[in-house]
Amino acid sequence: KKGDYYVMNEKRAIPVEDKFMNRKISDILYGYLQSISYLDKSGKTRFVYKDHYSPSIIQEYFGIDENGRYKFQRLAITRAMRVLIEFGYVREITVEGLKGNYVKAYELPFNVDSIFQIIPLETLKYLLDASNSNVIKIYVYLLNKYNCFGDKFEFTNKHLLNKCFGVKSNTNSLTNKSLANRLDFLKKLGLIDWCEYVKVYNGKKIKTKRLKFVNKYISK
């Protein structure tokens, strides 16, 4: 869906293009950078002050798991940032500060011709609280499909794993469980819902889901 990226400072644009759905891209890190970003005076450049970004800050934000380890390790954060820069979703710039001085920052470049979904900042922060990769990708992918096809959009686990996880097969039980947990999380927040049934393709029974709705605001 195309539109005006710079509508409101309380909303953020998340890409839905295939390049962003690449398994190398960390939607958690990108979503976090979007959540702490600002618009410059022109309203055309969204950026993060370089002083506001560091692997240690991000580690603390996402906290620790049940084993007492950070959910997002420093090395993983550094690698994820490098990939975002490599793919063109982040680049280093200088911006005018509040005192008229110029400071180092990370721009979050945006192409108005790309495919994206604009979501409320509050919703983005809830998705970040899950601290699970691909949750944001799954959500914006289904939001985009719902905006295009409404409650007629059908999908399978294999389809979502391919589009949002970069996995070509759904034979791995752990991967399937990860997808199920993420879908359940989004459902509990009231962001998505679906119905399930079995369809027959070329004589084979396939478990299929059909979207009932996708919301932009939390309704838990």
Confidence at residue 1, expressed as pLDDT on a 0 to 100 scale? 36
From the list 178, 183, 213, 209, the residue with the least C-alpha distance to 196 is 209
- The rounded average pLDDT for each run of 10 residues, N- to C-terminus, in the chain (220 residues) is 48 93 95 93 86 92 86 94 96 84 91 84 91 92 96 94 81 77 94 94 90 91
pTM: 0.89
Residue with tokens 């008229």: 100
Q: Is the Cβ–Cβ distance between 207 and 196 less than 8 Å? A: yes
Distance CA 216, CA 220 (A): 12
Backbone angles phi, psi at 202, to 5 degrees: 50, 40
- 173 is written with which tokens? 């039980």
Distance CA 21, CA 115 (A): 12
- 42 is written with which tokens? 């022109």
